[in-house]
Structure formats: structure tokens, C-alpha cells
Structure 1
Amino acid sequence: MFYHLYELNHAALAPLRASTEAVRRFYGDPQNPMSQTVFGKTLAAGLEVFERATRRYAKPEFGLNETIINGNPVAVTEDVVWSRPFCNVVRFVRQGEEASMDHPRILLVAPMSGHYATLLRGTVEALLPHADLYITDWTDARIVPVTEGAFDLDDYIDYVIAMLHALGSQTHVVAVCQPSVPVLAAVAIMEAARDPLSPASMTLMGGPIDTRINPTAVNAMAQDRPLSWFKDNVVMSVPWPHPGYMRPVYPGFLQLSGFMSMNLDRHLTAHREFFDQLVENDGESAERHREFYDEYLAVMDLTAEFYLQTVDTVFIRHALPKGEMMHRGMPVDTTAIRDVALMTVEGGNDDISGLGQTEASHHLCPNIPNGKRLHYVQPDVGHYGVFNGSRFRQDIAPRIIAFARKHSNAQK
């Protein structure tokens, strides 16, 4: 019912948003003399803040049409190379001779935790000049008809294995945050089966491998509530007329509200500064605000079964680090991993996945030789800085590429 009220409220505001945008355009038009007055600037700024605060943000585009390889511009196009109802794998195809260089093939597994894969645009941009890059583009559960069936954590693991099979041998898998657990489980399953298409290396970044270590506010919230609480309070059915009508989901707007409430003062300050920037005609700063929140406020729904199984397995029971995680009724044995190189990356100030939670994967994989291991902590960055921003571009991305190159020709 709450989801239906959310949709009703959004629909009820549509006429007001439309009239607000019309008035904003009128007072913001440079040809209107009023646009140069304090009254006109203040009114236009207030109306834009209101319109953006009440808007539903569509899935963003990656918009990466070019990269630079060895100082030369190279055109980039997107190609869907693998597709199932809940995910597409998108390849960033680099055109021309420069793109034919022997670069490692990397599957970048994006989080399925409320935001779209485009949240990793900066990650893609930094890796693209040095890798044949693929990314998981997860589908908003709200648009997947119930006739396509369910999708849970076991299905997620199956998807990762199928993707690695499709991409072939000598693929390197990089998991950002949430997928660290299912990627580690998928690799363990493949190694236990002596799968010849196991990845050459896996890199886990800011992932909740063992949330008992340095628990954060997010970890504590999950730990302090029984699974029944999540079923009763955050699982809802998709309302009509969305294609996924009647599918039980964890709505993206709930995930977003949770994240924003953790830093509410910061978001309120950012919007107040945005208003001032509009009044003062600080176009560059205002555009940076728009770009960030166009991405941050674009959210997707998760299937209820995936969300609940993840909460139970990762955050309540800590099944993987305890050696109790199951997949399709079979135990996930991380000690079976022997030939896949392992790199972990953490942020020194991460308030989502606490310091040490990702590093724990090394202790769970004791049979990986020391020469195939690397752990790196980036000082003075939070969760977002683990996979984006200047520190990622300068310090983390080069290490990921170097690690993949080092283990590209390893014999299995």
C-alpha cells in the first residue's frame, strides 16, 4: 500500500511540477529582463530546486563516447553481448588500431543495491583505456514482468558464472561493494568444479565479506532486526501500471531514503548551496550538483527474494565467513579457490563496508598462493572513493590494471 501511495503522490504532483517548470523557464529565459533581477533569479532558483526535489529520475546513460589510449582519442560504443531478464552485460567497444592492443579482459560487476550500473561511470572511464571492459547492467525489477519468474541470491551467483562462461578463459572479474559476496561464491563454486573458465583473477572492492569486522551503521541496522522485520516493513508489491505489476520488491526509493538519512545534513546543505549557486549564476558549480544528483537520485527496485536472502546470508547470519553459505543446496567452499588470483581494495574511511570486511576474503581463501594475493587500503577515502574520484583514478585503478596484467597469462 505504501508503494501505491508513493506513486499516487508522484502522480498528484505532476501538474504542479509541469507548471513549476513552465514558470521557471519563463523567469530563467535570458531574453526576459526579469531574469536579470534578484526577484527573477531567486524565483527561478527556488522553482528548479522544487522541481528537482519532486522529480522521478530516469536511468542515466553512460555517455562514454571516447577514451584516450596512448595519447590518441579512440571512439567507444556500447554493445550488449549477454542478456537475461534481470541483467545485460554491456561491452564498451573501443574502435580502431589502438583498441586492438593486448589489454586484459575485465568483467566489472556493478552493485545491485538500488542504483544503476551507471553509478560506476567513473570506474569505467578510468579502466577503459587499459582494458577490454564489460559491465553488468542490472535491470530494474519494477519493469520485469512476474512471468519471468523470481530472482534471488542463488540466481545472482548463477548469472555471474554464466557471464564468465560467455566471456571465456583469462577473464578478470572486478566486484564493487555488494557483489563481492556472490562473486567470491561463484568463483569458489567454479574452482571446486575445476571449471576451466574460472577467472584469471578477482578483485573485490569495498565489499561486505565479513560484516562482523568493524561493523558500520548499515551493518548494525541489519544485525539488530530479525528477517521478519524486513519482510513486514520494506517488501512491497509493484503497483500498476508498471510492467512488473504485483512483483514483490524492495523499492529503490526506500533504499535511497535510507542512504540520504545517514547524511541528511550534507544533502540539505548541498541543496541550499545549489540554490545560492543558481541565484549567483555560478553555472559550473550548479552543473556539478545536477550531474551528481541526476545519478544519485536515479534508483531501481530489487526483487524481494534477492534482497531478503542477501540480508539474511550476508548481514544477519554471516554465512560466508562462517563457512555456512549454501548455493542450490550445496556448500560454498572458499578453500577450493587455488588458481584464481585475489586482490582486495578498501577505503580507510569507508562507512558502508568497514575496514577489514573485504580483506577477510584472504583468510577465507587460504589455498591461494601468496604470489597471487594483494590487499590495498586507500587512505582518507570513504565508500564512494573506493571506486570513483581522483584517488581511484590515480592510485587504485592503476593497481587493478597491473594486477590483472600480472595474472593474465598464469597457467591454470
Structure 2
Amino acid sequence: MKNLTYLEVINYDYIILGSGLSGLLSAYRMANDAWFDDKSVVIIDKEIKNQNDRTWCFWEEANGEFDSILSKTWEKAFIGNQDFQQSFEMNPYLYKMIRSSDFYQLVFDAISAKSNFTFINDKILSWKTNGNSVEVQGKNKSYNGYYLLNSFFDVNPVLNQKKYPYLKQHFIGWFIKTKTEIFDDSEVKFMDFTIEQSGNTRFMYVLPTSKNEALFEYTLFSEDLLENSEYEKAIQNYLHNLGINEYEIVEKEAGNIPMTCFPFDKQNSERVLFIGTAGGWTKASTGFTFFNSKKKSKKLVEFLKSNQNLSRFNKKNRYWLYDLILLEVLHQNNELGAQLFGTLFQKNSIQNIFRFLNEEGTVVSDLKVMLTLPKWIFIKATFRALRKLV
């Protein structure tokens, strides 16, 4: 990987804006595919990603692509609300955790070994298509490329429309350490809805990384953010109710992930493709990002090798409609989230739900999952969703 002085001007084959998950996944796959060895690729970001700034989790069978950098796996998952609590064996799935610093190291090691890859620190001001190329204007200089992969997310197009519901998955998390060994580190609390809902969809998400270390995240699926003190007070109360009163806060993290079926693909053109959250890669109904981005980036690299018009990359499937229906329900009846998710896990195997949420089910298995949900609410939401397709 090369570092350039600002006096050099090069026409790149591919410009990747942003070194977040989607940009780095795409670059990683390109670096590991010999087809791109004679293609010039530049990644531009104002930051160098080398810190532990986030945690990604996903369910997957054993022997996955990124198993070498997993920091923790779990075999069991707890789901519960006021009426239903149960621990599930996830076999053949494991719930997997990756810390971002390990992911960044893996990717930058791969692209650093490639002389055709360049990383540039610069703040992006604008970009435009100019004939058969794309011109990107940075604070320090401009860059020209034949194709642009843009991961910078602009929320304004989503906010400036009313057609597609828009919720946020927002949270604050504490990594804590206790003096005594009190956690069952074989089980993740996937969604604990036994906490006060206060008219929203609220749950505690608990990832024990050892017998005396765990991440506690107070998470909401809702329209509006809270004051930081509200998230942290909820975590304190939850720990107190568990009898955990002596602990050290080792680290904190926060997030605000868009949940929407807004058609981000309409922004794409022949030479510009929005990727990651900016391209609708986040799973709209759950806010999960890593697994979806892993699949999307793999498809993207194969697509790039076909030299097709980039606007043809995105293809909607039936899961886009399923997500839209669920978001219609949660947008109008946000207080029902605890009941709906509890019902899903009470009446279906966790394996079928994971296949459904990973968009890997059959039409028959998907219908079995959906038919366990409150019918009248979802029928009305389905009609509202279908009207948006016209």
C-alpha cells in the first residue's frame, strides 16, 4: 500500500470514500482477489482506523470467514419479556463477536501488502461525475477515478421524506469488570425486554466476555434519542437489580444506527455506488450491520469484475418487504416491540429465526415465522407497505 504526497495526481480505477466497515470490507476483498492486482484503488478518510471504537456481533455457523479475529463466541442466547423468558441452544449457530481494532488490523495488513492500494488522510468536501470519471474534492487536493464507492452516510434524504418509516437503533454500552466471577460466559442476553418499556421498544443486551467481564448495552428501537444520562441510569438500575453493585467501568461505547427501507439505491449511478449504511446495507428490521455487509461486499466485488453499470448492483428481494412491514408496525406501535419479539422466539425455533433474519430461509419457513405474529396488526401493515410499492 502506497502513501502519496499531495503533489501527485493519479486517475484511480476505484475510489473508496470512508474506511468504515463497508469500505474496508470491500477493499479487503479486492486486495484478496487477483483480478484487481492491476487496478489502482485508493481509500480516502479523514481518520486512520486503528482504535477499538466499536463491537460487531452476528450469528453464524462455525468455521466462518473471520473466525481468526473473533474475540468471543457464545453457544446459548437468552430472550425474554414480562411473560416469557427462555435460554436457547443456538446450535449449529454461534453468536460471534469481533472488536473493531482486530478487524482494522486484519484489513490494513492485507491492503498494505498490495502496491496498487493507497490510503490517503483527507477530509472529503464534495464529489461529482465528470463524463467517464468521478472527481472527488478533498480539503487537501482533488482525486479522479473511474468508479466511486461511497460509504459516507447522509441522513437528510431519509429525514426529508415521509413515505418510508424511519426508526433508530440507539444505545450506550458499558464494558464492566467485577471483582468476583459472576457471569455465565457461555450465554448472551440477546434481548432482555423485562426492563421498563416506557412506551418504546427497549431492551438490555448483555455480552459476558469472561466470568467477571461483560458488556451491558441499553438499546432502543425508536424515533427519538434519549439524554445520555437516561441510558446510563438504566444500565445502573439493571446492574443493581442483578445484585452487581461493585464494578469497574473499563470502557464505554455508543451507537445510533438507522432502521429504514428508504431506497438508497436510487442515489446510485453508472459510476457511483453507495455502500454500507449509505447504501442500505444495514438490516432495516434489526440494525445489524456486520453480517449483511459481509455478504454484500462479497457480491459487490464479483459485480465489479463484470464491469457493469453500478446502478444495476442493488436488487430488492422479499426480505426488503418483510423489513418494511415490521418497520411499519414498530413505527406506529412502538410499544409493542417487547411483545412482538417475545412472541417470535416463543413460537419459533431460534434457528429458524436466525435463518429468517439472515435472509437465508425458504418461502415456506419464512411464512411459518411471520404467521406466528399478531395477524390483524401485520395485515394492516402489509397493506400500508404494499401501497408504497406503487
- If the length of structure 1 is used for normalisation, what is the TM-score? 0.26
Report the structure, 1 or 2, having the larger helix content: 1
TM-score by length of 2: 0.27
Which structure carries more strand by proportion? Answer: 2
